Structure formats: structure tokens, C-alpha cells
Homo-oligomer: A and B are copies of this chain.
């Protein structure tokens, strides 16, 4: 943890040891620990070991910190759908590509996705993020419906319930996956995909 900057050593741009990204990393940790509502800029300053004005040097408000932190999860999640492999090919394979990519974002951006999944929607910034998340989720639901219509997903399940269950399994990763645990990200990705795809296909 870098120590607080003193006025005499502070460079013109940013404080030594902190750029916007590392401020964000600390902010998302504190938001996840106490909840966004219960976190004050004073708590963030204490955690960073700097003054409140040093934080305001990087971001104008707590809301901006939240927005930037949520973008760390939402921008890569939204990008998945733009990939060629999400756009063409067999529907079940497009779905598998999207699920694999989602799992990777969850494991790589774990604290930011945790923040997103725990949002309560009390402010405009939160409601905007939840709406962007719903747009991502809706595209997956539409793919499950299409894959079922094309006979690539079992016909004895209701597609909306199935999609929520799938997301329940995938999203649980951010709650229990530990980067220093016994399973590698690749193993977790393969196990999750194996369970979901065979669950979707049913017994052949």
C-alpha cells in the first residue's frame, strides 16, 4: 500500500503511487465490503491513506467512482455481443461463446462484477447500470429461446426460467471463486460450460 503523498513531493499529475485505476481498485473493495450507500469518501481516503482532496483530484464524486467501477464490468460484458462469434454460427455455439466470454469477464474482473451484481438501484447511476445489465441478459434469453425453437435446446424446459438458472450458476462464480484456490480459471470455465451445455441439451 503506497503511503500518502506530501505537498512537497506531489507531481503535477496525480499523487505518487496512485492513478485513477488504483483508486478504483481500492474503491471497489470498500464498496463491496460495506455497500455503496454506507461508504463515504472519508472511508475511501482512510483506506487509501490520503486526504479526501487527493481523491477528488482523481474523480469529482463518489458517484463517478461508482460509474467508473461499474464500467470495468459492463464495458467488457457489452463487448461480448459485438464479437463475430456471438453474431454468426449455430445458435447453441453462439450461446456457448457468450457464456465462456462472460465467465472470463467474471473471473478477470471479479470485484467489479460483484459490485454490479449487488447493486440495489437507489440512484440514477445504479439504475442505468442495472438497465445495461438487463440488456445483456435479454440477448442471452433471446438466444436460448431461439436455440430451443431450432431444436438445439431441450423442449421440456421454459427458456426464461432456464436463462435465470444459467445466470445463477455463472454469477455465483464471483461469490465463491478464489484466484488462489485449487481450481484454475480454465478448469472452472470448462466445468461450468460442461454442466450448462449438457443441462441445456438434455439426454440424447
**Which A residues are closer than 8 A to B by beta carbons?**
35, 38, 154, 156-158, 160-162, 164-173, 175-176, 182-183, 187-188, 190-192, 194-196, 198-204
Contacts and interface: CB of A to CB of B under 8 A. Distances in A.
Given A168-B173, A203-B201, A204-B203, A183 B195 contact: no
B35 A154 contact: no
B204 A194 contact: no
Given A158-B183, A168-B176, A169-B172, A198 B203 contact: yes
A161 B191 CA distance: 7
B154 A194 contact: yes
B188 A161 contact: yes
- In the complex, the count of this chain's copies comes to 2
A158 B191 contact: yes
Contacts of A162: 191, 195
A162 to B, nearest CB: 6
Contacts of A199: 194-196, 198-199
A191 B162 CA distance: 7
A31 to B, nearest CB: 14
Nearest to A162: B191
Q: Which of A156, A198, A203 has the most chain B CB atoms closer than 10 A to its own CB?
A: A198
Nearest to A38: B38
Given A154-B198, A167-B172, 15 more contacts: A157-B191, A160-B183, A165-B192, A166-B169, A168-B168, A168-B169, A168-B170, A168-B171, A168-B176, A169-B169, A169-B172, A171-B172, A195-B196, A198-B201, A199-B199
Given A35-B35, A158-B183, A172-B172, A165 B195 contact: yes
A164 B172 contact: yes
A105 to B, nearest CB: 16
